[in-house]
């Protein structure tokens, strides 16, 4: 009995050690501590380490709930203390303490300074070349109370228009997708006014001229383009189809169809393995679009500023894939509109409401055509049906009662006619989009501009990570507006971490001879990939357990050695291979 161990400690450490080491390399704990100074009466961990440990929980578990963090930290108490070099108290991760952290992260001045310092430090630490920045916004819906001045408001949403939402504006580095700027505003605000504040913050952070800012059509407002041009940067975005733009686009399309300008083939090159288990690569080149460009002057008149004028390039691009999608969408709208028009005037029957006023019929038909955006593409024939009924007035024998004649009128739509000539003319405009940029042709050709814009999935992938299983921002388990803002800001730090891990590994893979990894797919161990995701890289560190045995006044620890895949990932990330084995402290 004297030789039995007095205590056995077993901790599942998995990817926690790796995550904390990457955060240390980014300088995240120090930056947070500089901008979140502790109160002179505060005891326990600094705010920087509280945030980093919470971030490791969020990424490792895919859960941001405050109530679970305390128990999770307690189950990895020894490991976290060894990595951080600080003693952890039981009260360091209570709900109240984490709520205070979110409140401090929600302050705009503090958060802006944290983002600026972290961006500059990350660029230096990982030698990132910043040439392009992508701006985009998304919404986060939830079952929250709506107040007049609150963050959660009803607005246009692709997620769930029946729920209130908060709006998130992000600026991300291309091609990393790493957030540079995170701005949280109330959900009813339009996207147009969010681009200039985000751009100005990014410009102040990077302090570099000649950057290319890429956005969607909501970035094409003249004020946004003017602001970017004045400060010596470039923009690239599609023109929004408002104002005179539809007429201009129709003219540009007519010129292209008439052959006035030679069309340039826009090709995309894709690289893939010629088999799942082979490191050899195949290169495939496909034509995805055609287009041409014209130049036009842009003038901005402001009473407080002198007349500003510059040359803007307009890229008119045709995509066969987009054209096919638009044709399918039009056919669906035409079909639905035809059904709705025929349903306006059902056949006589019980419970079938009839239309007996021509103006009502024309108004409802016009509303349907406008709803499905098929004005001028459909027309209909109708007829006025009149029935005459002769009835007797009063009671008694029919021969002794006077008669009255009642005339009833109803309108019936007979046929709905497709205007095939107009539909064919509409088909000619499908697939065409107009992009604008002030970048010189030597810097951004037509082909490069289209390929750059088509990488918009980079921003969407970041939003998918925020809303999906990786970070699970929705449903949001906080209610107060300051904690909502603080939580979104905190999760944007987690998104930075995921994008950095993924980008660094992929960049290093391109620099080595065998530029792919095998073993990331448990169901297919020999399958190789040159584009591993951060989630799969972290999942490769599952089921790592630290065991500590205390007996006869001595401590014995054991961590299983890392397998070759784990060692290779550590090497690609530039981390020492012994960060796991160093957790073991065999001492007397």
Give the sign of the dihedral formed by CA 435, CA 436, CA 439, CA 442: positive
Same domain? For 436 and 476 the reply is: yes
**Do 164 and 53 sit in the same domain of this protein?**
no
| Rounded average pLDDT over 530-539 | 94
Whether the pLDDT of residue 275 is over 90: the answer is no
Domain housing 151: 108-319+431-499
Mark whether 49 and 84 lie in a shared domain: yes
Residues 135 and 213: beta-carbon distance below 8 Å = yes
Q: For residue 446, what pLDDT is reported?
A: 93
Does position 356 have pLDDT exceeding 90, yes or no? no
Is residue 118 in some structural domain? yes
Look at residue 569 and tell me whether its pLDDT is greater than 70.
Answer: yes
Give domain status of residue 113, yes or no: yes
Q: Which two tokens stand for residue 343?
A: 């349903």
CATH number where 241 lies = 3.90.350.10
Across all residues in the chain, what is the average pLDDT?
Answer: 89
User: Of 428, 455, 475, at which residue does a domain stop?
Assistant: 428
- pLDDT band at residue 273, thresholds of 50, 70 and 90? low
Angstrom distance (rounded) from CA 508 to CA 573: 8
Q: How confident is the model at residue 9 (pLDDT cuts 50, 70, 90)?
A: confident
Q: Which residues contact 482 (CB under 8 A, 6 or more apart)?
A: 102, 103, 106
Place of tokens 């040359």: 311
Please check whether residues 299 and 246 belong to one and the same domain.
Answer: yes
534 within domain boundaries: no
Are residues 66 and 27 both part of a single domain?
yes
How many residues can be counted in the chain? 588
Residues 168 and 207 in one domain: yes
Which range, 197-201, 409-413, 453-457, 579-583, is most confident?
A: 197-201
Selection from 327, 429, 421 nearest residue 376 by Cα: 421
Q: Which residues pair with 403 in a beta bridge?
A: 392
Token pair listed for 342: 């025929």
Task: Report how far residue 35's alpha carbon sits from residue 279's, in angstroms, rounded to the nearest whole number.
Answer: 46
Average pLDDT over residues 354-368: 90
pTM, two decimals, is: 0.87
When divided into structural domains, the chain yields a total of 3
Residues 240 and 376 in one domain: no
pLDDT confidence of residue 416: 92
Confidence of residue 367 (pLDDT cuts 50, 70, 90): very high
Clarify whether residues 230 and 242 are in a common domain.
yes
The region that residue 203 occupies, defined by phi over 0 for left and psi between -120 and 50 for alpha, beta otherwise, is: alpha
Is position 518 within any domain? no
Q: Give a yes or no: residue 173 inside a domain.
A: yes
Q: SS3 of 266, please? A: strand
Contact 509, 528 (CB under 8 A): no
Task: Give dist(CA 414, CA 436) in Å, integer.
Answer: 47
CA-CA distances (angstroms) from residue 258 to 151, 249, 253, 492? 51, 14, 8, 49
Query: Does a structural domain hold residue 513?
Result: no
Query: 154-173 pLDDT, tens per residue?
Result: 988 878 888 999 999 999 99
Q: What is the pLDDT of residue 588?
A: 42
Give SS3 for 278. coil
Q: Which of 108, 84, 104, 85 is nearest to 42 (CA)?
A: 104
Q: Are residues 131 and 215 in the same domain?
A: yes
- Is residue 473 in some structural domain? yes
Among 410, 428, 446, give the residue marking a domain's end. Answer: 428
Q: Write out the DSSP string of 348-401.
A: S-TT------HHHHHHHHHHHHHHTT-TTTEEEEEEEEEEEEEEE-SSS-GGGS
Looking at the structure, tell me whether residues 309 and 451 fall in a common domain: yes
Lowest mean pLDDT among 217-231, 246-260, 279-293, 419-433: 279-293
Angle at 33 between CA 30 and CA 37, to 5 degrees: 155
Please check whether residues 248 and 389 belong to one and the same domain.
no
Does residue 523 lie within any of the structural domains?
no
User: Tokens in use for 495?
Assistant: 């998104």
- Both 171 and 238 in a single domain? yes
The two structure tokens encoding residue 209: 């001229």
Say how many Å lie between the first and final Cα of the chain, rounded.
Answer: 20
């Amino acid at each position: 009995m004297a030789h039995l161990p007095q205590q056995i400690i077993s901790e599942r450490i998995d990817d926690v050690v790796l995550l904390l080491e990457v955060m240390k390399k980014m300088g995240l704990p120090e930056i947070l501590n500089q901008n979140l100074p502790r109160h002179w009466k505060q005891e326990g961990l600094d705010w920087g380490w509280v945030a980093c440990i919470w971030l490791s929980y969020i990424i490792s578990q895919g859960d941001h709930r405050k109530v679970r963090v305390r128990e999770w930290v307690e189950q990895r108490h020894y490991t976290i203390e060894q990595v951080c070099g600080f003693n952890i108290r039981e009260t360091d991760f209570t709900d109240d303490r984490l709520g205070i952290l979110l409140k401090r992260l929600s302050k705009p001045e503090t958060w802006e300074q944290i983002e600026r310092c972290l961006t500059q430090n990350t660029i230096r630490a990982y030698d990132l070349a910043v040439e392009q920045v992508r701006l985009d916004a998304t919404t986060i819906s939830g079952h929250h109370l709506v107040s007049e001045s609150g963050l959660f408001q009803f607005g246009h949403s692709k997620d769930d228009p029946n729920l209130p939402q908060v709006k998130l504006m992000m600026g991300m580095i291309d091609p990393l997708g790493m957030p540079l700027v995170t701005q949280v505003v109330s959900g009813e605000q339009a996207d147009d006014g969010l681009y200039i504040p985000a751009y100005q913050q990014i410009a102040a952070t990077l302090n570099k001229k000649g950057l290319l800012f890429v956005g969607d059509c909501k970035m094409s407002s003249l004020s946004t383009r003017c602001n970017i041009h004045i400060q010596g940067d470039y923009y690239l975005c599609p023109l929004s189809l408002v104002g005179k733009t539809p007429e201009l686009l129709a003219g540009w399309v007519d010129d292209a169809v008439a052959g006035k300008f030679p069309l340039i083939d826009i090709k995309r090159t894709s690289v893939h393995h010629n088999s799942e288990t082979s490191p050899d690569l195949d290169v495939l080149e496909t034509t995805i679009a055609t287009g041409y460009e014209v130049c036009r002057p842009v003038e901005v008149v402001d009473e407080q500023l002198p007349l500003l004028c510059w040359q803007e390039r307009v890229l008119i691009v045709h995509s066969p894939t987009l054209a096919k999608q638009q044709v399918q969408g039009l056919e669906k709208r035409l079909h639905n509109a035809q059904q709705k028009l025929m349903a306006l005037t059902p056949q006589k029957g019980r419970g079938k409401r009839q239309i007996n006023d021509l103006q009502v019929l024309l108004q409802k038909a016009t509303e349907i055509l406008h709803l499905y955006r098929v004005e001028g593409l459909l027309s209909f024939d109708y007829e006025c049906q009149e029935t005459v009924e002769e009835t007797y007035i009063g009671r008694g024998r029919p021969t002794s009662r006077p008669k009255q004649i009642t005339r009833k009128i109803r309108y019936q739509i007979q046929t709905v006619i497709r205007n095939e000539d107009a539909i064919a003319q509409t088909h000619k405009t499908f697939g065409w989009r107009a992009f604008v940029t002030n970048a010189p042709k030597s810097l951004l050709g037509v082909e490069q501009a289209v390929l750059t814009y088509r990488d918009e999935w980079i921003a969407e992938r970041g939003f998918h990570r925020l809303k999906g299983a990786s970070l699970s921002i929705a449903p949001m388990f906080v209610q107060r507006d300051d904690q909502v803002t603080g939580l979104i800001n905190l999760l944007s730090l987690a998104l930075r971490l995921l994008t950095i891990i993924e980008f660094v590994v992929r960049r290093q893979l391109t620099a080595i001879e065998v530029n792919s990894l095998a073993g990331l797919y448990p169901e297919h161990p020999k399958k190789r990939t040159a584009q591993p995701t951060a989630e799969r890289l972290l999942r490769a560190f599952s089921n790592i357990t630290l065991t500590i045995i205390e007996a006869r006044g001595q401590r014995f620890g054991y961590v299983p050695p890392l397998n070759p895949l784990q060692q290779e990932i550590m090497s690609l990330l530039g981390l020492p291979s012994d960060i796991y084995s160093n957790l073991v402290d065999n001492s007397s």
